[in-house]
A and B are shown apart, each in its own frame.
Chain A
Amino acid sequence: METNGSRRRFLKSTGVVATAGLGVLAGCSALGGGGDADGAADLDVGTLGNGEASEEVEIDFWLAIGAEDLVQGIADEFNNQSDNITVSVSAEGDYTEVWNQTQQAQTAGDPPDIVHLNAVSTLPAWAEDVVIPAEDLVGTEVDRSSFVDAVSGYYVVDDTLLGLPFGVSSVACSYNRTAFEEAGLAAHPDDVELATMDDWMQASEAVVSETDLEYGVTWPEIGWFYETYFSLLGQNVINNDNGRSAPATESYFDSQAARRVYEWNKEMYDQEYYQLTQEWSDARQSFLNQQAAVQLDSSAALAALSDGAAEAGFKTGVGQVPSYSTDSRDGKIIGGGALFVPTGIEGAELEAAAEFMLWMAQPEQQAQWHMSTGYYPARPDAVEIAEEQGFYEESPQFRRAYEQFTGRAETTATAGAFTYDHGELRSEIVNGLDRMYGGSSVDEVLSSTKSNIDEVLERASSADPR
């Protein structure tokens, strides 16, 4: 990438004269927990968008998904262009660790300038004033309509953009093309039939009976997959518009959609078509060891899976996450995380953090990140850049996954559930599945999962300031 050229583009696209007021920051405490959000009052905002801060400043960026060198590489380009801002990136463990360490650093009075948090931390981070909403930070400098709908669908709450999406993913399906051919199934990604639950059942049956593979499919026991099944079926997980119009008070595990998903899942398990795996790595290992022919994973793992398969001597393709029928296919929910600036950051540091966030939101950086990792870019124009550079000719699977992700109905179901204790909701899904695999009936599992999640929601709604 030419440094000067991209700098100019950057300046042009963000507008040299900033109109956004960092001064509105003070407003972000309206929802108020106890965070200190008045740090921005002393900011001179007239220069936002020029990639510079009012004085020389170093800012820390805590990253949650590894890839430290890669992100530092992107940050270094920014550093080279900026005369007085230096961004240093450090990988601080997984999302949970970054979330906890951010709070600890904040309590100690020394928070990092930018943190990478999981989507599910968005509500507590906002409600408890842990972070400054992105909207208040970069204002109209980032045009929300430039984001893919799935992204704005999740991160825009009360008409406010809360975080700057970074490392966006969805559930994606990889299948063993070689095994499909051997089983006599349509194997080319354009023809492969994995769109419905019945397709999955039939493909599994063929694989198990016609090949040496022991199982048809596998996916790790992760709540997010089940929320994706719900969204594909157009079913909200929780009430009040999936918790978006008001804190949810009830879950929909007694719905027809839930029953369809769980009955199918149990049948797949009982027939030994579905291999139960616990962790992400277990499912990957099973797929790469050719125990199961189809695997669900994060789209971010697509590249690693196809590389691993090539090493193991088989070809892969990108299939589809199943819905009930081809007519009812609403779309997939978002996964991954977003960048936030913690409250307590002020002065030149805040200015520098805003500048860097703006830079990261540009299509060039989004495209670079997308092409190096497989995470989706937050905006479609980044895909055009990847297209121009011939990325999809080499890696068509990314294109396919991205199109599946963006080609969807924009409903509250596909926007994804929004609740204060989303992690606990997901744990209860997993606990229920454990009971099902341990022998409980679908009826028992759905009703206990519903009542357990409803309890979680009751506590969550008391913490939710909306």
Chain B
Amino acid sequence: MSGANGRLQVFTSKWQAALLLLPTLALITVFLYYPFLETVQLSFYRIRVLGNQQWVGLEHYARLLESETYRNSLVVTVIFTVVTVTVSLLLSLLVSFLVHEADSLSDFYLIGLIWPYAMPLAVAGVVLDFIINPQLGVLTYALEAAVGFEFNWNTDGTLALAAVILAAVWQGLGYSIIFMTAALSQLPDSVTEAAELDGVSRLGRLFRVYVPLISPVLVFLVVLQTIGAFFGGFALIDLMTGGGPSNATNVLMFNLYEDAFTNSRFGYAAAQSVLLFGFVAVLMYVQLRVTDRYAYYGGA
């Protein structure tokens, strides 16, 4: 069935379509839009104990703008996101390329690479902590014995952030690899053959031929990983550093959680939640606009 504008039309009745969409819309409304609106509303109240609230208007937003802790969290989150997404995507790309090029055992490699992703973040955090804990970690102990360098991220904020980023990159690698290897395997062999005949080097083939061709997948991954880094990483940070030392790993999400559930400042935390949503929404818009220009979706 074709409509007047040439689009495929499965349902002739708009009511029928609406009816079928209703369950999804109802779920989204109940579990997403309603809580979101309620969060916005809560952000205008001082709530030290649930159930007791006083209207404070924009006071929480004003305090957030002035708060040094909050500014620090924003900077930490941006660093965490930029480094995690960049390193994670580059590594995934290289690894996916190697798996794609492997003549044998590529399934075996793939399973091994995807494995960490199947691990819940909390488990990944515990495992990583066991390996790189400054005092008790098996790897830190060996490293310190071998090179004499003290890898103490309990006291060094930069190292702590690096440790958390390392954990996030490691844990998230599998996800990108699934998409990238799938995208690479969709490329016609003729592209590879043509590149080889033209004498393009191996890395050149990856970055000049494959990357432009799989760019829609890359755009998708950049956007998704950025959202993930802004909202995620909580479990890792909670288990590995608790936001420390001295707030060096206190990302926005962790700060928000601490204010809500440890410090019982629910209204203040709600305001942070609204701002975080705003940051990510703006970022997504910009990212999609910018990356779209570079993504190749076929056609002329």
Interface residues of A (CB under 8 A from B): 33-35, 96, 99-100, 103-104, 106-107, 124-125, 128-130, 275-279, 282, 285-286, 289, 291, 420-421, 423-424, 427, 430-431, 434-435, 437-438, 463
Contact = CB atoms under 8 A, between A and B. Distances in A.
A463 B48 contact: yes
Contacts of B247: 431
Contact of A435 (B133, B135, B246): B246
B52 A128 contact: yes
A44 B258 CA distance: 43
Contacts of B133: 282
B263 A423 contact: yes
Interface residues of B, number: 23
Given A33-B52, A103-B49, A286 B135 contact: yes
Contacts of B264: 99-100, 124
Contact of A285 (B49, B136, B244, B263): B136
A289 B136 CA distance: 10
B157 interface: yes
Nearest to A438: B155
Contact of A106 (B51, B242, B263): B51
A107 B48 contact: no
A170 B285 CA distance: 53
Contacts of B51: 34-35, 103, 106-107
A463 B135 CA distance: 40
Interface in B232-256: 242, 244-247
Nearest to B51: A107
B246 A106 contact: no
Interface string B25-67: 0000000000000000000000011111100000000000000
A124 B46 CA distance: 14
B92 to A, nearest CB: 31
A434 B244 contact: yes
Contacts of B136: 282, 285-286, 289
Contacts, number: 74
Contacts of A129: 52
A437 B156 CA distance: 8
B263 A424 contact: yes
Contacts of B50: 103-104, 106-107
Contacts of B246: 431, 434-435, 438
A279 B51 CA distance: 33
14 contacts: A33-B49, A34-B52, A35-B52, A96-B261, A107-B51, A124-B48, A124-B264, A129-B52, A275-B135, A277-B135, A431-B244, A434-B246, A437-B154, A438-B155
Which residue among B49, B242, B258, B264 has the maximum number of chain A CB atoms within 10 Å of its CB? B49
Contacts of B135: 275-277, 282, 286, 291
Contacts of A275: 135
A423 B262 contact: yes
A195 to B, nearest CB: 27
A128 B264 CA distance: 12
Contacts of B242: 278-279
A130 B263 CA distance: 16
A438 B135 CA distance: 16
Nearest to B240: A278
A35 B50 CA distance: 10
B300 to A, nearest CB: 57
A435 B156 CA distance: 9
Contacts of B53: 34
Contacts of A130: 49
A130 to B, nearest CB: 6
A431 B247 CA distance: 7
Nearest to B53: A34
Contacts of B244: 278, 430-431, 434
Which residue among A34, A275, A291 has the maximum number of chain B CB atoms within 10 Å of its CB? A34
